[in-house]
Structure formats: structure tokens, C-alpha cells
Amino acid sequence: VAAPMARRLAAAGASSGEAFRQLEQIGDQLAASLSSLPTSSLVPMLHACAVAGLPHATLFAAAAQDLSGHLGPLPIVEAFEASAALRLSIPELQALFNTFMDEELERRLPGTSLARLVAAAARLGFMKGEHTQRLLDRFLTIASPMRAPSVETLTTLCHGLYLSSWSPGGHELWQIALWLSVLDQTHKTHPQSIALRNFALSVLSCPQSQEIVDGFQPNLQLSIAKVLRGGQSAPRIPMSDTTLKFRHEVSEVLRRAGRPYDLDLNLGPGLSVELTLPGPIGTLWLLDGPEAFHHPFFSPAAQERSSSSSGPSEPRLVPGEQRRAELLQLAMDTARVDGLEQALGRWEHVGDRASSSSSCGDIGSASHDKAGMAAGPLLRLFGSASCRTEMPARLARLDWLSWSRLPPAQRLGVLIESRPACIVAPAEKVALARAAMRNK
């Protein structure tokens, strides 16, 4: 019953509130009677929720408890993928993942499924450093060192490594670079190019991995550099009406106050901020809607804690948003950016090709070799130094829930506040605004 309704709901774009409520009621009934249903129906039910966009925490929690010890490792991976599609991260799923790792079930998975597990668990925030390394070691053990995995498998693996903040070792990074070089001319979709570029950017931004890549063969260095250069624009992520309304309200507050602002400023390869207040004392604002957070927004334990505190607890950012903030902070650091671009120039062997090039233009008109890489002066990855000098020095986040709690009279002050206290977590920002009101 649930699966056909889920498909209809997804086809309708979740526009039918009544259909969504009916599907939620079906989820309630399934969760209550899960013990009487065949175990083989668990994963299809979770997949139906993912198709419909229904993060039914009760159903997923009940299914997670039944999945442990009753099904093989592959259905559990599919359950994690359904949860990750919904950004549904709950303790029962974390416990299932821990059991999965304790029982070494990854040893029964093929390489493609291992990559899927790494990505799904990383999206849910379940991965610890030892988990990531163990799963990667297993993947490298069963994969062919010379014959590259499919583009989809390698992209999925690299995306999971990026989200889990993997600290690379020499052998593992060399193997991934070799596979990237083998797949250099293979067609990649735009999302795949973005995922590989994010991984390469995380490699470039880590001093340890920079040093490792500096010791690679030139063709492997160049393969990583080409991934970084590929596809400079990130796809526009679909936003909910809630997010659109929130961002419109923020810009309207600034417009009515006559304050200058810019929208969707690009700072580097796929790195952008939603709102910029220009000037040396301005701020780069990340305006987070529901899509930036895990479901459920408030866990039962958090709600109990918030009931005894002065303010509500905040939802948890998904790993992708945490990583984005880290890379944006890096892009704002002029000294570090100069070091990154010098390292990228070494990997592209700009100096070698520039010495043999018959002509050299300026940064904006550097010549290119047959491989499509810079053959003249260094092509900037993060924009010109002058643009970075004029960039606001501060990065801040604000989510739609914190914004809705702010009194209208306080909203402009929060956005343009010039004191360092502006750079705090959303919950602390709301507390500061409330404290200011009490002190008046």
C-alpha cells in the first residue's frame, strides 16, 4: 500500500498535503505492526518513504531494530541509503551501524556496496576515523589496483571520504589518484564532477595530503589538478518553500534598511555563500533552511533538555554543510589560499610548461596545453588576491528557526552587528539577542 502511494506523492512533488498525511498514517500503522510483517518487506518500506520524502522516524527506528541480525549486509546498506536520502539520523540507526561494524559485516560486501556504505554512513554522520579507514582498507583489498572501478563507484567512495573528513595515507591516496588518472577521459555527470572536485579540494587543503601528492608521479598530480579545475559551478540545490521564504525575508530586512548586500557570492570552486554584507567589517552569511539539517530537527532527548533550559536546542547540520563551512573559512584565508594555489601550480607543472611556452599572458589569459591545463602563469582557483583582500573577514550562520524566533525589531541588528560576538552558533545568537532585550 505504501509504495504506490509514495510513488504518486513523489510524482506530484509532495504538493498534496492530504496524501502526505495519509502516507504518514500508513507509516504509523506499519511501525506499530512491524513484528507481524515479513522481514523482507522492511527495506522496501523504507525506500518508499525515501521516494516520498517522508522522514518517518518511528518507522525507521522500529525497522533498524528488526534489521539487526535478521538480514544480510546489503539490505542494511540500502536502509542506510534510504535514511541518508531523507537526512534522517537517529540513535537506532547509529546503533545498527555500530553493530554492523562490530560484526565485521563489511567483509561480506562487494566493492560497489562498500562505497555506498561509506557514502551513506558519512552523510548520516555515523562515521568515525577508524570506521572510514577500515572500510577504505577493505575496498582497496578487494578492488583491482590497475583496473579502475566504475565512475559511479569511485565518485561515491570519494564523496564519502570527503564528508567523513578522511585523513589520507600515502598508499590509499596514491591508489585513488591512479584510478582518477585512468578515468580521466571517462564521461562524468555534473554531480559526479562536483563530488570528485570536493574530494580533490579537501586533499589540496590538507597539508599532510599536499606533501603526499608532491611525491607522486607527475601524471597522478595532474589528474588531481584536473579534477579540481573541472566544472567550476556547483548545481543549484532545490530549496524548500521554507528556505526561499527565509532568505527572502532576510534580504527584505536589509533592503528596507537601505543596507547593501550581494546574493550567492562565489568564493572558489563550488564554494558560495547565500548573502554577503560587503566591506572589511561585513559578514558572509550562510542562511540555512531545513535542507541543511538532519531529521528529526529535535530529538526527544534534546526536547527534554530544552524544556528545562532558557531556549530550545538547535537542529544538527548535515556533514556536507559542516565541510562547506570549513572550506569557506579556508577560502577566506589569503595566506592559506596562496599556499594552496602554489601547490596546485606544482601539480599542474605550470613552471615547466611556462618555460617552454612561446608566449605568456596575464592571469586571465594564460595559454593552455593539449591537456587543457595552464601552460602559462598560474590560473587562480579562488579568484584574484585583490578580490580576496576586499572580502569580508567574517563568516556566520543563521538558520530559519533562529530567524523565526528573533523579534522583528532585533533582526537587522543581528545581521549587521559588527562585534565579534556575531560569529557564533545560531542558538547563541538568539540568546544574545534575548539578553540584549532583557537588558534594555
Buried b (16+ CB within 10 A) or exposed e, 8-20: ebeeeeeeeeebb
The whole-angstrom separation of Cα 384 and Cα 427 is 35
Q: What angle do CA 225, 272, 239 make, to 5 degrees?
A: 120
What are phi and psi for residue 70, nearest 5 degrees? -105, -25
| pLDDT value at 41 more than 50 | yes
Instruction: Supply the pLDDT for residue 138.
Output: 96
Say which range, 10-14, 406-410, 418-422, has the weakest mean pLDDT.
Answer: 418-422
Q: Of 143, 126, 204, which Cα lies nearest the Cα of 168?
A: 204
Q: CA 22, CA 12: separation in Å to the nearest integer?
A: 14
**Residue 399 carries which side chain, given as an amino acid letter?**
D
Residues in a beta bridge with 368: 374
pLDDT-derived band at 313 (thresholds 50, 70, 90) equals low
Of 7-16, 58-67, 388-397, which one has max mean pLDDT? Answer: 58-67
Determine the pLDDT at residue 231: 57
Least confident range of 345-349, 355-359, 389-393 = 355-359
With H, G, I as helix, E, B as strand and everything else as coil, classify residue 386.
helix
Condensed to tens digits (0 to 9), the pLDDT of residues 227-264 reads: 988 755 555 667 888 999 999 999 999 999 999 999 98
If DSSP codes are grouped into helix, strand and coil, which group holds residue 285? strand
CA dihedral 34, 36, 38, 43 (to 10 degrees): 0
Confidence tier at 422 by pLDDT (50, 70, 90): very low
98-142 confidence digits (pLDDT tens) = 999 999 999 999 999 999 999 999 999 999 888 999 999 999 999
Q: How confident is the model at residue 343 (pLDDT cuts 50, 70, 90)?
A: very high
